[in-house]
């Protein structure tokens, strides 16, 4: 009896999830009348705008990841090692991006860092890119921090640090050679999630007027019929790949831990 | 017919047969322990009695009624779990009242019963606390009160003491036994701790590999273990290989000596048997009432406080012996040649 | 030990390690937000005023907030119910073990599949020319539009939001369901309780703070979502985030400070929802430690 209800709930739920995925896939293949084809994909992929915005977002994602790692790993490490009393405050701050809508944050950026302000970041393309990258970094902060902090919990930070110090290692060496490799799986999980977030992000890029993948998708969606579905399939594949990589990384490290 | 009658009980999980032809009769008011190492099937037996597992075959009857096809909530059994299993969202009083409430008893009756139960476990002032505000020992006593509040026919205790620390374990042990005797409730207790089983039970079932190896009073189980497993699991034993000389007279040769045991031996002359001896049955030096004296050499000395456990080398086999600590006699030095005296009737002959 | 003493000598070094983090979050998270909050209480000349907040009380802005709250609440409520049913099915619903991990993995993907592409997927499926719309029309003669369904409406928005709301609920509530100990169910059963009595008196009260807390989180999650709504309906639908988006792009309200007040209103609403979430979570963890 219970089992029948369970199957019912699960199957109805899965139908809801599968139909849009089928719908977008089917639509993306229907550009040519009467038969399935990859025409929509061909059009999208050969679009110079697509190539430009896609690579822009990939590069932004990579910079965001590097920046996020450099910001979060030392901070999380330092909090665990020397400032445990700050933990609740740091955790609260890292969760703020879930509370404050991204549109509000970017609204603040536009007013605070415009050309007539004390820090005119939006004055140049480079400045705006950096500002957008900072915006992405705040968006991914909750996930990045939580992933790294969980990773650090699994290793004995204090003992590792003291052992490295007794062998004469500097702080940079300790972080780069001891701490980072030990939380690599966690860092990679955070990195892939950040990648997925940045690739799909729309609001910040659109309002800062940068040529990112999200605004491009929206623009195409307003003007074309089949290409948006192809884009949706591509975006879904990226999300899926990122999540798959997270799973893979976690599983891989579990194996190496079991062996040692 | 006994109050709880378990006959030919069998349980397999897939190809894994965890309980094999298990039989047990428990009289009304009796406290019976199922004792064995983890994985011996004792918990599975208890869970089948409770109704959480269905036997592959066999019968369970409580008070003359076959319960195998009854659901747990129809069996009128009280159970205490190892991890307390108090409902975390309910106060102590609400936890104790739970069974009465779902049975639809009157409010006044329930309240009176809760007060009575909390008095019984000695925690009358904690009615409004939540489980997370209690210590482990307090939680387990509340769990006991909750199980007893519905006045069950039968009380099942699934390792209720193993999550607690040593001191509380010992005091709660006495308390549970007292309450059980006062209420006269038939109780089945599962444990892997021989000390608990020996001190609390009317009878003990020693289980091994899904079977009952031996059923008996604590005194019998300790002093006359019937199998090698029971002997090894309950208490400490020294074992010796001996050769049977005359089975009818009970004569065996142990090293260079011939010893006449107090019993017939169920083996042919010339066969090897294992003799076992409790550490408290052997004494250093000559001792009144002992008819066997063996030469030995002190190999190890463990000072344990009130007791000193000595291991002596007797003809190449180690023998454990306990002596009480006395302030005026320091323990012997390792390597000292000694005489060990013991009574032949204290030897236990182990079957395979 | 050498490290310990050298550190003690430079005690301020402890704080130096936190400078990058605090500087970054202050400049790019807290300060921009505070700027908006203060802007909401200022005249263009910089004097303190409540006028901006009071000016939010126009039919159009009121309705924008109200529709946003409705959409967010309904999608959160339905997301909670359906997500709970699915999570319960794979945890306590006696389904084969094999279905659980794929569902959790899929939930991780689907909860992150939001924004513009999600809107495209739904347009392709039940938009005016979508797969299901066309199928129902040609095969069954059912016209969804005539039946009152329109994807580019609040109902359509709720239906679309569920695609990330349900998985988020599954991800959060599955561990909570795992936290229900087998012994609780067994203890209830042996005390004579039926399955229904166990759920009513024990399991649901234990889960209730988590469920309600997740409801608040899902609400905030939907309330701040801009991209899906814009890609689905364009700038036409009058909901708070879209209105704010239009205001930032082109000052449609005709007053920058009114824009701050609009944004401030959004922070207050999501902030309240999250406070409820954090408070209820702390409550549920208190029981279960």
Closest CA to A189 of A154, A230, A232, A235: A154
Q: How far apart are CA B190 and CA C194, in angstroms?
A: 26
Which pLDDT belongs to residue C10?
A: 54
3-state secondary structure of B100: helix
pLDDT digits (tens, 9 = 90+) for C139-168: 887 777 777 778 888 888 999 999 999 999
Mean pLDDT of all residues in chain A?
Answer: 86
Under 8 Å between Cβ of B24 and B4: yes
Strand order, beta sheet including B186-191: B77-80, B154-158, B186-191, B31-35, B203-208, B211-216
Test mutation, C185, C186, C190, chain B, max B CBs within 10 A: C190
Does residue C187 sit at the B interface (CB-CB below 8 Å)?
yes
Which has more pLDDT, B112 or B262?
B112
Which pLDDT belongs to residue A259?
A: 40
- In terms of CA atoms, which chain C residue is nearest residue A87? C18
Q: How confident is the model at residue A130 (pLDDT cuts 50, 70, 90)?
A: very high
Q: How confident is the model at residue B36 (pLDDT cuts 50, 70, 90)?
A: very high
Minimal Cβ distance to C202: which of B78, B87, B143: B87
Minimal Cβ distance to A232: which of C117, C130, C217: C117
Chain length of chain C: 289
CA B76 to chain centre: 25
Chain B residue numbers with beta carbons less than 8 Å from the beta carbon of C181 are 83, 85
Q: Across residues C36-63, what is the average pLDDT?
A: 85
Which domains are delineated in chain A? 56-259 (1.10.3720.10)
Q: Do C230 and A200 touch (CB under 8 A)?
A: no
Q: How confident is the model at residue C133 (pLDDT cuts 50, 70, 90)?
A: confident
Q: How far apart are CA B93 and CA B115, in angstroms?
A: 8
Residue C20 has pLDDT above 60, yes or no: yes
Which domains are delineated in chain C? 59-288 (1.10.3720.10)
Q: How far apart are CA A32 and CA A28, in angstroms?
A: 10
Minimal Cβ distance to C191: which of B51, B89, B150: B150
Closest CA to B189 of B65, B81, B86: B81
Share of chain C above pLDDT 70, in %: 94
Q: What is the DSSP string of A142-176?
A: HHHHHHHHHHHHHS-HHHHHHHHHHTT--HHHIII
- Partnered with residue C260 across adjacent β-strands are none
pLDDT digits (tens, 9 = 90+) for A186-234: 888 889 889 988 988 999 999 998 999 989 988 888 888 788 888 888 8
Test mutation, B44, B47, B88, chain C, max C CBs within 10 A: B88
Q: Across residues C112-137, what is the average pLDDT?
A: 84
Q: Do C274 and A200 touch (CB under 8 A)?
A: no
Helix (H) or strand (E) holding A59: helix A48-81
- In terms of CA atoms, which chain B residue is nearest residue C191? B99
Residue A179 has pLDDT above 90, yes or no: no
Q: How far apart are CA C230 and CA C219, in angstroms?
A: 18
Q: Across residues C262-284, what is the average pLDDT?
A: 85
Which pLDDT belongs to residue B191?
A: 93
Chain C residue numbers with beta carbons less than 8 Å from the beta carbon of B51 are 189-190
Query: Which two three-digit tokens encode residue A27?
Result: 């639509």
Q: Which residues contact A4 (CB under 8 A, 6 or more apart)?
A: none
- In terms of CA atoms, which chain A residue is nearest residue C38? A108
- In terms of CA atoms, which chain A residue is nearest residue C18? A75
The percent of chain B in helix, strand and coil, each rounded to the nearest 5, is 30, 35, 35
Q: Across residues B248-267, what is the average pLDDT?
A: 81
- Distance spanning both ends of chain C, measured CA to CA: 35
Q: How confident is the model at residue A83 (pLDDT cuts 50, 70, 90)?
A: confident
Q: How confident is the model at residue B259 (pLDDT cuts 50, 70, 90)?
A: confident
Strand duo B211-216 + B186-191: pairing: unpaired
Q: Across residues B104-114, what is the average pLDDT?
A: 93
Share of chain B above pLDDT 90, in %: 47
Q: How far apart are CA A237 and CA A28, in angstroms?
A: 13
Q: Do B83 and C202 touch (CB under 8 A)?
A: no
Which pLDDT belongs to residue B106?
A: 92
Mean pLDDT of all residues in chain C?
Answer: 85
pLDDT digits (tens, 9 = 90+) for A27-38: 888 878 878 888
Test mutation, C108, C116, C185, chain A, max A CBs within 10 A: C116
Q: Which residues contact C166 (CB under 8 A, 6 or more apart)?
A: A13, A16, A17, C79, C82, C83, C86, C107, C110
Chain A residue numbers with beta carbons less than 8 Å from the beta carbon of C88 are 6, 9
Under 8 Å between Cβ of C72 and C223: yes
Chains that touch A (3 or more CB pairs under 8 A): C
- In terms of CA atoms, which chain C residue is nearest residue B97? C191
Query: Which two three-digit tokens encode residue C60?
Result: 């159009």
Which pLDDT belongs to residue B146?
A: 94
Which pLDDT belongs to residue C288?
A: 61
Strand duo B348-350 + B238-246: pairing: unpaired
Query: Which two three-digit tokens encode residue C241?
Result: 């985030």
Strand order, beta sheet including B337-342: B283-284, B337-342, B292-303, B307-314, B317-324
Rounded alpha-carbon distances, angstroms, from residue A154 to A80, A243, B262, C141: 12, 22, 62, 59
Q: Do C244 and A242 touch (CB under 8 A)?
A: no
Q: How confident is the model at residue B98 (pLDDT cuts 50, 70, 90)?
A: very high
Q: How far apart are CA C72 and CA C274, in angstroms?
A: 14
Q: What is the DSSP string of B189-253?
A: EEES-HHHHHHH-SEEEEEETTEEEEEE-HHHHHHS--BHHHHHHSS--EEEEEEEEETTTTEEE
Which pLDDT belongs to residue C147?
A: 75
Q: How far apart are CA A177 and CA B319, in angstroms?
A: 56
Q: How far apart are CA A37 and CA A33, in angstroms?
A: 9
Chain C residue numbers with beta carbons less than 8 Å from the beta carbon of B102 are 188, 191-194, 197, 201
Q: Do B85 and C189 touch (CB under 8 A)?
A: no
Return contacts of C258-261, CB within 8 angstroms, 24+ apart: C258/C52, C258/C55, C258/C56, C259/A107, C260/A107, C260/C36, C260/C37, C260/C39, C260/C40, C260/C42, C260/C52, C261/C40, C261/C52, C261/C53, C261/C55, C261/C56
Which pLDDT belongs to residue B81?
A: 92
Q: Across residues B312-334, what is the average pLDDT?
A: 86
Return contacts of B16-20, CB within 8 angstroms, 24+ apart: B17/B210, B18/B44, B18/B210, B19/B44, B19/B45, B19/B48, B19/B55, B19/B210, B20/B209, B20/B210, B20/B211
Which has more pLDDT, B350 or C260?
C260
State the smallest CA–CA distance between residue A32 and chain C in angstroms. Answer: 15
Q: How confident is the model at residue A260 (pLDDT cuts 50, 70, 90)?
A: very low
Q: Do C32 and A202 touch (CB under 8 A)?
A: no
Closest CA to B230 of B36, B18, B20, B24: B36
Q: Do B81 and C186 touch (CB under 8 A)?
A: yes
b/e map of B208-231 (b: 16 or more CB within 10 Å)?
bebbbbbbbebeebbeebbebbbb
Q: Do C190 and B79 touch (CB under 8 A)?
A: yes
Q: Do C226 and A24 touch (CB under 8 A)?
A: no
Which pLDDT belongs to residue A254?
A: 60
Rounded to 5 degrees, what angle do the CA atoms C208, C209, C211 make?
65
Rounded alpha-carbon distances, angstroms, from residue A22 to A25, C124, C157: 5, 9, 19
Test mutation, C13, C89, C124, chain A, max A CBs within 10 A: C124
Does residue C190 sit at the B interface (CB-CB below 8 Å)?
yes
The answer, yes or no, to whether B and C have at least 3 beta-carbon pairs within 8 Å is: yes
Q: Across residues B136-163, what is the average pLDDT?
A: 92
Test mutation, B44, B50, B52, B73, chain C, max C CBs within 10 A: B73
Under 8 Å between Cβ of C230 and C181: no
Q: Do B132 and C189 touch (CB under 8 A)?
A: no
Q: Do C86 and A24 touch (CB under 8 A)?
A: no
Phi, psi dihedral angles at B295 (to 5 degrees): -80, 140
pLDDT digits (tens, 9 = 90+) for B219-253: 999 988 888 888 888 888 888 888 888 888 888 88
Under 8 Å between Cβ of A174 and A136: no
Q: Tell the residue number behind the tokens 């006044």, with chain if given.
A: B108
Does residue C184 sit at the B interface (CB-CB below 8 Å)?
yes
Minimal Cβ distance to B132: which of C183, C202, C289: C289
State the smallest CA–CA distance between residue C125 and chain B in angstroms. Answer: 45
pLDDT digits (tens, 9 = 90+) for B310-319: 999 888 888 8
Query: Which two three-digit tokens encode residue B290?
Result: 């002992």
pLDDT digits (tens, 9 = 90+) for B277-307: 888 888 888 888 788 888 889 999 988 888 8
Q: Do C248 and A201 touch (CB under 8 A)?
A: no
Chain C residue numbers with beta carbons less than 8 Å from the beta carbon of B101 are 201
Which pLDDT belongs to residue C4?
A: 46
Q: Across residues B77-88, what is the average pLDDT?
A: 91
Which pLDDT belongs to residue B141?
A: 93
Chain C residue numbers with beta carbons less than 8 Å from the beta carbon of B79 are 186-187, 190
Which pLDDT belongs to residue C2?
A: 43
Which has more pLDDT, A252 or C84?
C84
Query: Which two three-digit tokens encode residue A199?
Result: 């690739």
pLDDT digits (tens, 9 = 90+) for C204-256: 988 888 888 889 889 988 988 888 888 888 777 888 888 888 888 887 777 77
- In terms of CA atoms, which chain B residue is nearest residue C196? B102
Residue B255 has pLDDT above 90, yes or no: no
Minimal Cβ distance to C266: which of A79, A104, A206: A104
Which pLDDT belongs to residue B275?
A: 86
- In terms of CA atoms, which chain B residue is nearest residue C283? B89
Three state DSSP letters for B110-171: HHHHHHHHHHHCCCCCCCCCCHHHCCHHHHHHHHHHHHHHCCCCEEEEECCCCCCCHHHHHH
Mean pLDDT of all residues in chain B?
Answer: 89
Residue B53 has pLDDT above 50, yes or no: yes
State the smallest CA–CA distance between residue B89 and chain C in angstroms. Answer: 6
């Amino acid at each position: 009896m219970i089992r029948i209800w369970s199957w019912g709930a699960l199957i109805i739920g899965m139908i809801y999830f599968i139909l849009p995925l089928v719908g977008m896939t089917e639509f993306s293949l229907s550009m040519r009348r009467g038969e399935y084809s990859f025409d929509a994909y061909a059009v999208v992929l050969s679009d110079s705008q697509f190539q430009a915005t896609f690579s822009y977002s990939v590069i932004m994602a990579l910079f965001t990841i590097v920046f996020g790692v450099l910001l979060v790993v030392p901070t999380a490490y330092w909090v665990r090692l020397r400032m445990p009393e700050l933990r609740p405050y740091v955790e609260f701050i890292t969760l703020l991006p879930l509370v404050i809508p991204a549109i509000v944050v970017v609204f603040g950026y536009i007013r605070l860092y415009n050309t007539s302000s004390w820090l005119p970041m939006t004055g140049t393309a480079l400045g705006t890119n950096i500002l957008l990258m900072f915006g992405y970094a705040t968006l991914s902060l909750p996930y990045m921090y939580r992933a790294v902090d969980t990773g650090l919990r699994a290793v004995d930070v204090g003992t590792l640090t003291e052992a490295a110090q007794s062998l004469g290692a500097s702080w940079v060496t300790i972080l780069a050679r001891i701490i980072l490799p030990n939380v690599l799986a966690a860092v990679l999980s955070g990195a892939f999630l950040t990648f997925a977030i940045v690739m799909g992000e729309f609001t910040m890029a659109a309002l800062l007027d940068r040529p990112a993948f999200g605004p491009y998708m929206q623009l195409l969606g307003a003007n074309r019929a089949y290409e948006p579905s192809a884009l949706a399939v591509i975006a879904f594949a990226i999300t899926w790949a990122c999540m798959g990589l997270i799973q893979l990384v976690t599983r891989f490290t579990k194996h190496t831990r079991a062996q040692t | 017919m006994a109050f709880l009658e378990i006959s030919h009980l069998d349980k397999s999980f897939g190809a894994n047969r965890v309980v094999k032809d298990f039989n047990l009769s428990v009289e009304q008011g009796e406290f019976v322990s199922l004792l064995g190492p983890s994985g011996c099937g004792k918990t599975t037996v208890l869970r089948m009695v409770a109704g959480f597992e269905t036997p592959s075959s066999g019968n369970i009857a409580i008070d003359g009624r076959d319960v195998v096809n009854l659901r747990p909530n129809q069996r009128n059994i009280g159970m205490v779990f190892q991890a307390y299993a108090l409902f975390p969202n309910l106060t102590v009083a609400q936890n104790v009242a739970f069974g009465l409430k779902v049975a639809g008893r009157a409010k006044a009756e329930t309240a009176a019963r809760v007060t009575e139960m909390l008095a019984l476990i000695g925690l009358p002032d904690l009615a409004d606390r939540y489980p997370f505000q209690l210590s482990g020992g307090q939680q387990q006593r509340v769990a006991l009160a909750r199980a007893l509040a519905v006045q069950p026919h039968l009380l099942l205790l699934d390792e209720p003491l193993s999550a607690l620390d040593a001191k509380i374990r010992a005091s709660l042990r006495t308390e549970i036994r007292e309450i059980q005797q006062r209420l006269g409730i038939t109780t089945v207790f599962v444990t892997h701790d021989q000390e608990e089983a020996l001190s609390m039970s009317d009878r003990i079932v020693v289980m091994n590999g899904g079977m009952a190896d031996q059923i008996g009073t604590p005194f019998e189980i300790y002093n006359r273990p019937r199998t090698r497993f029971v002997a090894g699991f309950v208490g400490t034993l020294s074992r010796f290989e001996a050769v049977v000389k005359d089975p009818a007279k009970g004569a065996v040769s142990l090293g260079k000596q011939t010893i006449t045991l107090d019993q017939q031996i169920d083996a042919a002359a010339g066969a090897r048997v294992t003799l076992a001896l409790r550490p408290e049955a052997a004494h250093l030096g000559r001792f009144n009432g002992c008819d066997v004296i063996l030469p030995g050499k002190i190999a190890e000395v463990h000072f344990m406080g009130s007791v000193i456990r000595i291991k002596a080398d007797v003809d190449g086999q180690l023998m454990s012996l306990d002596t009480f600590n006395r302030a005026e006699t320091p323990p012997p030095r390792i390597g000292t040649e000694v005489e060990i005296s013991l009574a032949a009737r204290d030897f236990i002959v182990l079957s395979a | 030990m050498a490290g310990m003493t050298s550190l003690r000598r430079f005690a301020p070094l402890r704080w130096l390690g936190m400078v990058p983090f605090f500087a970054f979050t202050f400049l790019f998270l807290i300060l921009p937000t505070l700027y908006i909050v203060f802007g909401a209480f200022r005249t263009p000349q910089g004097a303190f005023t409540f006028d901006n907040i009071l000016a939010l009380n126009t039919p159009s802005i009121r309705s924008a907030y109200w529709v946003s709250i409705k959409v967010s609440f309904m999608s959160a409520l339905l997301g909670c119910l359906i997500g709970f049913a699915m999570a319960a099915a794979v945890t306590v619903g006696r389904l084969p073990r094999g279905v659980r991990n794929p569902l959790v993995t899929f939930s991780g993907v689907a909860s992150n599949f939001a924004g513009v592409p999600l809107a495209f997927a739904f347009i392709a499926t039940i938009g005016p020319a979508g797969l299901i719309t066309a199928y129902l029309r040609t095969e069954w003669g059912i016209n969804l539009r005539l039946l009152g369904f329109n994807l580019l409406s609040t109902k359509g928005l709720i239906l679309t939001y569920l695609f990330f709301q349900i998985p988020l609920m599954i991800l959060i509530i599955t561990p909570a369901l795992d936290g229900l100990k087998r012994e609780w169910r067994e203890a209830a059963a042996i005390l004579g309780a039926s399955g229904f009595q166990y759920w009513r008196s024990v399991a649901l009260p234990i889960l209730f703070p988590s469920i309600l807390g997740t409801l608040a989180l899902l609400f905030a999650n939907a309330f701040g979502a801009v991209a899906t709504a814009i890609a689905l309906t364009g700038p036409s639908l009058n909901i708070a985030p879209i209105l704010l988006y239009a205001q930032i792009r082109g000052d449609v309200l005709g007053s920058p400070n009114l824009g701050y007040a609009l944004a401030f209103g959004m922070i207050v609403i999501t902030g309240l929802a999250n406070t409820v979430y954090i408070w209820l979570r702390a409550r549920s963890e208190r029981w279960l430690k």
